[in-house]
Amino acid sequence: MSELPLVEPDLALLREKRVLIDVRAPVEFAQGALPGAVNLPLMDDEERRRVGIEYKERGQQAAIELGQRLVSADVKAARVSAWMQVLERHPDAIIYCFRGGLRSQVAQQWIAEAGATRPRIRGGWKAMRQALCSRIDAAAEQPLLVVGGLTGCAKTSLILALDNGLDLEGCARHKGSAFGRHPLPAPSQIDFEHAVGLRLLDLPGRPFVVEDESRHIGAANVPLTLWQAMEKAPRLRVEMPLDWRLNQIHKDYIDDLWEVYRHHCGEWLGWALMKKHLAGSLARLRKRLGRARLDRLQRLQALAFREHARGNRQAHEAWLAPLLTEYYDPMYRYQLEKHPEQRFLHVGDWHSCLEAARTWSAEQAMPSQAPSVESVR
C-alpha cells in the first residue's frame, strides 16, 4: 500500500465543520461518532463480525484476506462510489476509522485509485474523542456560573440568550424532567459528550454559563469533571410568578412539542404520538404523585386533549398548573433545603438574571474593568 497522507487529530477540524467520512461499521457509528461525520463504512456489521472472528481464530493476515473477499467486485465498487459522491460535494472531506489504521488506509487507497487523494486522521476516532474529552476536563477549570430556578422560569432560554451559554439539555436532546423527552431519538452518551465538547471549543478559557441540572439529563450523564465543577459553582436563581411560568410550561410542553411532532410525523400521527408522549410522561410520576393525585391529573389531561382538539389549547392549564404547584415546585424547594451551602450571586426575575449573568461574565473576563454583579440586583 503506497504512502497515504495523514492529518493530526486537531479539534480545529471540528471547529471548522469539516465533513468527515467515517468508514467504521454502522454499529460503531451508532454508539458514537465525531460531529459532522457521515457513515460510509468499508464493511457492514455482518462483514465486520466475520472478519473479527477470523482475526481471533486465524490472525491478522487471514482476517485481511477474508475482508478482501467480502468487499470486492460490485460491493467494493458501490462503496467507492459512495465515497466519491461525498468528495464531489465536499472535496476537502477527511477520512477516519477507529484508530486511523487499516480500514481508513484501505479506503484512502481505493479512493486514490479512483482519482482522488484525501488524508485520514492520525489515531482516528479514538484520538479525536480523547481530545474532545480533554476539552471538557479543561473547561471544568474555567469560571462557571449555574442558573437555577423553579420549573417554567425559562432557564434554557436564558442560557441560549448568552453568547457564552452551554445548553446541556440541547446537547442531551432532553429537557431534564419527567416531561423532558424529545420526540427524536436521544443521542448516545458518546455523542452527548461530543456535542458538549464541540460547544466548548467556542469558549476556550472563557467564563461560561449552564443551567442547574442533575447529573443525569434523560439518558445522558454530565461528564464527572464538569458536574463536580457545577456543584461548586456560584449560582443565580430565576424567580417568576406562577402565571408567567404556566405560560412558559404550556409553550414547552404543548406548543413546541406539537410543532416538532407535526413537522416530523404529520398532523394525524403527530397528534396521536404527542398525546401518547404526554400521557406516558404523566403516568411515570405515579410513585411521586400517589394514585389519587395521578388519577385526578390524568382525568384533567384527557379533558384537555378533547378541548384542544376543538381548538381550545388553554385547556391544558387545568393539569399543568397543579403539576407545577404539587410536583415540580415542592421537589425544587426540597433540593434547595438539601443544599443550604449553595450561594446565589443574584436572585431575581428573568431579565435581571440575564443581566446578572452577563455582568458576571464580564467580571470574570476583565475583573479590573467590569462592574460588580451586585449592581444588577
pLDDT the model gives residue 70: 94
Angle in degrees, 0-180, between the axes of helices 102-113 and 73-89, rounded to the nearest 10: 80
β-bridge partners, 169: none
120, 94 in Cβ contact below 8 A? Answer: yes
Identity at 308, one-letter amino acid code: H
The total of other beta-carbon atoms located within 10 Å of residue 170's CB is 19
The total of other beta-carbon atoms located within 10 Å of residue 297's CB is 21
Whether residue 234 sits in one domain with residue 149: yes
Tell me which residue range forms the domain holding 228. Answer: 140-240+343-376
Residue 374 has pLDDT above 50, yes or no: no
Whether residue 337 lies inside any domain: the answer is no
Whether residue 125 sits in one domain with residue 17: yes
C-alpha cell of residue 271:
397528534
Residue 356 has pLDDT above 60, yes or no: yes
The total of other beta-carbon atoms located within 10 Å of residue 117's CB is 10
Whether residue 355 sits in one domain with residue 299: no
- Last residue in a domain, options 110, 130, 150: 130
Whether residue 120 sits in one domain with residue 10: yes
pLDDT the model gives residue 175: 84
Report the domain count for the chain. 3
Whether residue 263 sits in one domain with residue 218: no
C-alpha cell of residue 74:
460490485
Distance from C-alpha of 168 to C-alpha of 176, rounded to nearest angstrom: 9
pLDDT the model gives residue 367: 57
Torsion sign (Cα): 237, 242, 247, 251: positive
Whether residue 57 sits in one domain with residue 20: yes
- Last residue in a domain, options 130, 157, 176: 130
pLDDT the model gives residue 343: 81
Is 97 an annotated catalytic residue?
Answer: yes
Whether residue 93 sits in one domain with residue 18: yes
Which tens digits make up the pLDDT trace of 36-51? 899 999 999 999 999 9
Q: What is the mean pLDDT of residues 134-146?
A: 96
CA-based max dimension of the chain: 73
189, 32 in Cβ contact below 8 A? Answer: yes
Whether residue 135 lies inside any domain: the answer is no
Q: How far is CA 234 from CA 153, 238, 329, 356, in A?
A: 19, 14, 22, 12
Which helix or strand (DSSP H or E) is residue 361 part of? helix 350-365
pLDDT band of 375, cuts 50, 70, 90: very low
Q: What is the mean pLDDT of residues 154-174?
A: 95
Which tens digits make up the pLDDT trace of 52-68? 999 999 999 999 999 99
- In DSSP notation, 12-31 reads HHHHTT--EEE-S-HHHHHH
Query: CATH number, domain at 118?
Result: 3.40.250.10
Whether residue 262 sits in one domain with residue 175: no
Which candidate in 97, 153, 171, 353 is catalytic? 97
Whether residue 160 sits in one domain with residue 100: no
Whether residue 277 sits in one domain with residue 246: yes
165, 159 in Cβ contact below 8 A? Answer: yes
Whether residue 273 sits in one domain with residue 228: no
Q: What is the mean pLDDT of residues 119-127?
A: 97
- Last residue in a domain, options 130, 156, 171: 130
Whether residue 322 lies inside any domain: the answer is yes
Q: What is the mean pLDDT of residues 305-311?
A: 94
